[in-house]
Amino acid sequence: MTKEQKKILLILALAAVFAYFWWTRERERSMVFAPDEGAKMLVNRMWVDHLPRGEREKYTGYLFSARTFGMHDSAESIYRHLMELFYFKLEGAAVNFQFPHDDRRTSSSFTVERLRDVRGPLDLKLTLKNDPQKGGEEGVYFSSSKWRKDKLPEPRDGALPALIPPGIGR
């Protein structure tokens, strides 16, 4: 093997090592959960578009319970909230929403991923491709793996009208 060939081989080996480390670093930066695991991560957890930095900063969020009951929160500040209750059903990587207040029904694909390169408590990311509270635009929300609640209160029977076709909601 000539010196020229050794140099080329060394350059190719270094390029392969660099590509491997870059690829593994990018892979570790975030990890998208499979739909069934993503569904488990979605429920019983508060999701917010960002952590407010002050008591009067606006933010929005979702809460999905384990029993197909959820809440959307539009906060004007930590003191004032507009909350809308909804039913939902998970089907693979999609969420079917029904909002009883105005009988809106829509569906959105979703992904949940674990963020690796994080500063602060938010290490999970939820993406709703067709966010019903954003007029069908994509919605991105964050949560913490520590925010999970094993049991959330469910609405009392009759608290929400039964406007949902069989198979969705209750």
Q: Each residue of 52-100: pLDDT tens digit?
A: 889 899 999 999 998 889 999 999 998 999 999 999 999 999 999 999 9
The token duo for 11 is 């350059």
Confidence bin at 10 (pLDDT 50/70/90): low
pTM beyond cutoff 0.75: no
The token duo for 140 is 């991105």
pLDDT of residue 58: 95
Name the DSSP letter for residue 33: P
Q: What letters, b where the CB count within 10 A reaches 16 and e where it falls short, cover 112-123?
A: bbbeeeeeeebb
Cβ(62)–Cβ(70) below 8 Å: yes
Rg of the chain (C-alpha set)? 22
135 has pLDDT over 80: yes
pLDDT of residue 162: 41
The token duo for 159 is 């608290």
Percent of the chain with pLDDT over 90: 55
C-alpha distance across the termini of the chain, in Å: 73
Cβ(54)–Cβ(133) below 8 Å: no
Q: Which residue(s) pair with 112 in the sheet?
A: 126
